[in-house]
Structure 1
């Protein structure tokens, strides 16, 4: 009996040694900048706090949404736990700054990929594609670009929506200008409040974001959709290893349907197909 117990103990120790060796070997294959995150025991991620379906912070300080779930999945792919993610609320204006200073490791915050931005930060393949639209009051009389000439349109600081709107209007024979038609705000709730107060007559941003601000008095214009917006995971330009790791995961999850399931789980409109 003692021999059997001794033999079982030896087998258990051998199995434990194999598992430990496998875990160490797996961790050792991660890029240095990813290993640094694992060693710290915390993945720091910048997310929005005010975008329903993507990332919303509740009164208890907790975050929920598809980008939150995606961040947790990335942490687990590193060998961390989902609870090892620390979220920081960012805006279109602050997200890049916080990446550059190293306060956060990555951004998942409806961050549109552009050629200009790719010179400043690393971006993964897009995990979601949207298009810009307008949220207006149902009684606004706005049905197309021509109706915007004498109107004020609210956009978020640091977003790409303003330039995209002016370009799309021009392509439709309508001239809009920064001075006469555009008003910037620090965040999306501020734009919605301005719309309700009549300070602006339209709220311009990606359609999926606008859907979170719909109420019985408003509508999203299906006649005004332009500039497809591809959202990617952004990392600091110098963190090439982390960027490569993230890209590998995102491409795999796009291929196997994991990201589609996360989108559906959070009630987000399916990714726009160009």
Structure 2
């Protein structure tokens, strides 16, 4: 009888503990799963930059704001590197939920992903050595060696419109391009002006400068998996709120402080968030 009583008591305790353990486990799983994967650049000072475990830049600030509006705190964001040539693949494979990575809206890209925004409008420009007097804009590139990043609209514009004038080196990131420029391997780095301003400022010793004659219009959008139209609406609502409450300007001022960069006030901050039109027609911009 004593043994039977003891077994019954142990069984009762076990049944009491089991549901509690189950609830604790479920709660833990739910917390760990409430995250959002966001793709950014890791090598663009002032926009998307990774330093140890810290992430900074305008793209990062915009991503945090939008994520908060979607119900995610900063510590629930999982940052993923999104190189230019991998952005569509990351979205299509479900590796990321959103991409904030100087992602220009184009008609070709809209065939495979959705876009929220635009949340910023930049222009393609040239980064050169401060001592170089020969490059004054896109019309002075004959015979020059340029560097840009594989998969970027900047590289494609050079291929489409300057292939017969320049030699283009494509690299996986702008750190490699900047190194090539400083060493004299190339004559200029080309991409969006705000990116170049950050790269020039990151050197901190005046070795590099931005020419300051943009020759395209790049509308930065938020990359979203194809078909997620409700997410597009929520992202656009968040972007509008960010502009309206002053957070957009505050984030941009902080990101570009000390670079000497001033965004084109005609297009910034954006007032329409529909991603309806693609990147500004390059040929028209030459007129």
Deviation at 1:161, TM superposition (A): 0.8
Corresponding residue for residue 277 of structure 2 = none
Instruction: State which of 216, 223, 228 in structure 2 corresponds to 1:234.
Output: 223
2:138–2:215 Cα contact (<8 Å) kept: no
Contact 1:149 1:181 in 2 (8 A): no
Moved more, 236-245 or 129-138: 236-245
The yes-or-no answer on 1:192 pairing with 2:184 is no
* From 40, 45, 65, the counterpart of 2:33: 40
Q: 1:12 corresponds to which residue?
A: none
Residues 83 and 270 of structure 1, relative CA distance in 2, 3 Å threshold: farther
CA distance in 1: counterparts of 2:262 and 2:135, whole angstroms: 26
Determine if the alignment matches structure 1 residue 161 to structure 2 residue 154.
Answer: yes
Give the alignment's Cα RMSD to 1 decimal: 2.2
Q: Take 1:48 and 1:112, find their aligned partners in 2: how far apart are those partners? A: 13
* Structure 1 residues without counterparts, runs of 5 or longer: 1-36, 171-175
1:262 corresponds in structure 2 to 251
The partner residue of 1:61 within 53, 57, 73 is 53
CA, structure 1 residues 246+270, in 2 after alignment: closer, same or farther (shift >3 Å)? farther
Quickly say closer, same or farther: Cα 1:146–1:231, change in 2 above 3 A.
Answer: closer
TM-score by length of 2: 0.73
Task: Give the CA deviation at 1:240.
Answer: 2.0
2:105 is matched with which residue? Answer: 113
Partner of 1:248: 237
Secondary structure, in 3 states, of the residue corresponding to 2:143? Answer: coil
Give a deviation string over 1:198-238, Cα, whole Å, max 9, x none: 1111100001101122142221112x311111111110012
Query: What is the distance in 2 between the residues matched to 1:236 and 1:194?
Result: 35
Q: 1:72 to 1:123 in 2, by over 3 A?
A: same
Greater Cα shift, 233-242 or 74-83: 74-83
Matched with 2:84 is 92
Question: Which structure: larger Rg?
Answer: 2
Aligned length: 229
2:142 maps to 1:149: yes
